[in-house]
Amino acid sequence: MELINTYFNSWSKQNLEIINIFDINAKYKVKPFNEEVYNGLDEIIKYWQNNPMKQLNPHPQIIECFPNKTDDKYFVEFTNMFEYNNKIKHTHGMILFKIKNNKIYELSEFYKSQIIELGIIGLTD
């Protein structure tokens, strides 16, 4: 659970400390149905710099963690609210963390986003 807390703390603080918790050959799958896959630390760093670190005032929170009792897999329900492109964006979803040797070797995000703009609410992928 410490790795998962570090992940969320790095996200909220927008720092690259997150890289220390990934295996060198890790896979980072983003968006519903894993439309984007980043392989290895170099690609994960580029993704992190171009996406989560561009969110203004992120507030990611763990809602609940569901550990798999037979291996090191964790489903984490989360929520986040942040400013992005002059809009407020709220995301809610699940992240599957796969951990081996105290490093994340695979992470898959599944989420929906809601744009809040001047009292108008719309759903996006």
Q: Structural domain tally of the chain?
A: 1
Tens of each residue's pLDDT in the chain, 125 residues = 889 999 999 999 888 888 899 999 999 998 767 678 999 999 999 988 887 777 889 999 999 999 997 889 999 999 999 987 778 999 999 999 999 999 999 999 999 989 886 555 555 55
For the range 61-67, what are the long-range contacts, defined as Cβ-Cβ under 8 Å and sequence gap of 24 or more?
Answer: 61/8, 62/4, 62/5, 62/8, 65/1, 65/4, 67/1
- Give the model's pLDDT for residue 32: 66
Taking the C-alpha atoms of 30, 34, 36 and 37 in order, what is their torsion angle to the nearest 10 degrees?
A: 90
Give the C-alpha separation, 89 to 107, whole Å: 22
CATH no. for residue 84? 3.10.450.50
Range of the domain at 64: 2-124
